[in-house]
Amino acid sequence: MSQWLHRAMTDAGLPAVLMESRQVTRALKGMPSKTDRRDAEGIARLLHVGWFRPVKSKSASAKQVCAVCLRLMVLPGVGAGVALAYRSTSAASAMSRAA
């Protein structure tokens, strides 16, 4: 959901950053009382100070390829080899379009 929200906000022209959840959890662990309000204040403080590692979001086309590969792997009689072959051909075609 965070990737969907990030894409919607950036498409609307709003500044948005994806942060690594493990890093944020460790940074907020030392807070005396955990409430949603204090979590929001802590995240805002991390953004303000710059103590975070931004995470890149996958493109919509990359997510579609992953979804197709997962569906292919679940089908009976279709092994992971077919899914991996589909993934490699779709990645190669995406690279040729970008060049």
pLDDT tens per residue across span 8-45: 888 899 988 888 888 888 888 888 888 889 888 998 99
Residues 6+ apart with CB under 8 A from 43: 19, 24, 28
On whether the pTM is more than 0.85, the answer is no
| 44 in the same domain as 6 | yes
Is residue 54 within 8 Å of residue 18, measured between CB atoms?
A: yes
Number of domains in the chain: 2
| 65 in the same domain as 93 | yes
Whether residue 80 is contained in a domain is answered as yes
- Boundaries of domain holding 89: 60-98
Whether residue 34 is contained in a domain is answered as yes
Whether residue 54 is contained in a domain is answered as no
Whether residue 31 is contained in a domain is answered as yes
Per-residue pLDDT of 40-54, as tens digits, reads 899 899 888 888 877
Is 95's pLDDT higher than 50?
no
Whether residue 25 is contained in a domain is answered as yes
Instruction: Output the 3-class SS for 11-79.
Output: HCCCCCCCECHHHHHHHHCCCCCCCHHHHHHHHHHHHHHCCCCECCCCCHHHHHHHHHHHHHHHCCCCC
| 64 in the same domain as 45 | no
Is 97's pLDDT higher than 60?
no
| 44 in the same domain as 12 | yes
| 43 in the same domain as 9 | yes
| 44 in the same domain as 77 | no
User: Which residue in 57, 43, 36, 86 sits closest to 94, CA to CA?
Assistant: 86
